[in-house]
């Protein structure tokens, strides 16, 4: 039992740490978008990388920030109804919801992992003018799904 509690604590610490680092990606994303828009509309010299980097940064925020959001109860739920339920009904709804989260995470781990692996093996690129490799971003899908899966496991275990 102590091993499980220690594992759940490590999950919480990991998602807290990753979430604190991913928060800075928001600032970088803002700077990239402002730079790209300024270059495009003020200087009529659009960048070939700006839109793609913005997509990647947004992907980092969404995929790696999911576990942190789950840790702090930030995912969407209908609070106006949820807060009226008894603690027992809330616990039952949470368990049903967590089962759905587990299923989605398993699907993302399986298919996202396969897609990321194929991209890595083939050295797939984006096909744009800038043409960076896509496997680093695709690897974030199974990693992010794993972070959410284990955080959900941690919430269920506590």
3-state secondary structure the chain: CHHHHHHHHHHHHHHHHHHHHHHHHHHHHHHHHHHHHHHHHCCCCCCCCHHHHHHHHHHHHHHHHHHHHHHCCCCCCCHHHHCCCCHHHHHHHHHHHHHHHHHHHHHHHHHHHHHHHHHHHHCCECCCCCCCECHHHHCHHHHHHHHHHHHHHHHHHC
Report the domain count for the chain: 1
Structural domain harbouring 70: 2-157
Q: What is the C-alpha to C-alpha distance for residues 133 and 129, in angstroms, rounded to an integer?
A: 12
> What's the whole-number average pLDDT of the chain?
91
pLDDT band at 140 (very low <50, low <70, confident <90, very high): very high
Q: pLDDT tens, 76-116? A: 776 777 788 888 998 888 888 889 999 999 999 999 999 99
Which of 135-141's residues contact partners 24+ apart within 8 Å by CB, and which partners?
137/56, 137/59, 137/60, 138/112, 140/59, 140/60, 140/63, 140/64, 141/63, 141/108, 141/112, 141/113, 141/115, 141/116
What pLDDT does 75 receive? 76
What pLDDT does 84 receive? 85
What pLDDT does 2 receive? 85
Q: pLDDT tens, 102-112? A: 999 999 999 99
Q: What is the C-alpha to C-alpha distance for residues 17 and 2, in angstroms, rounded to an integer?
A: 22
Mean pLDDT, to the nearest integer, of 23-44? 95
What pLDDT does 156 receive? 80
What pLDDT does 19 receive? 94
pLDDT tops 90 at residue 146: yes
pLDDT band at 74 (very low <50, low <70, confident <90, very high): confident
The partner residues of 133 in beta bridges, in order of sequence, read: 125
What pLDDT does 157 receive? 66
Q: What is the pTM of this model?
A: 0.85
Q: Which residues contact 125 (CB under 8 A, 6 or more apart)?
A: 131, 132, 133, 134
């Amino acid at each position: 039992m102590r091993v499980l509690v220690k594992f759940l604590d490590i999950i919480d610490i990991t998602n807290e740490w990753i979430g604190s680092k991913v928060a800075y990606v928001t600032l970088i994303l803002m700077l990239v978008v402002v730079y790209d828009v300024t270059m495009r509309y003020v200087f009529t010299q659009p960048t070939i990388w700006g839109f793609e980097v913005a997509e990647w940064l947004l992907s980092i925020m969404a995929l790696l920030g999911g576990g942190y959001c789950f840790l702090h109860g930030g995912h969407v739920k209908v609070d106006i109804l949820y807060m009226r339920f008894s603690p027992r009904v809330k616990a039952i709804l949470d368990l049903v919801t967590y089962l759905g989260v587990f299923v989605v995470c398993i699907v993302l781990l399986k298919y996202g992992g396969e897609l990321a692996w194929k991209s890595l093996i083939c050295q797939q690129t984006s096909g744009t003018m800038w043409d960076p490799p896509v496997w680093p971003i695709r690897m974030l899908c199974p990693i992010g799904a794993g972070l959410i899966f284990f955080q959900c496991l941690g919430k269920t275990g506590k």
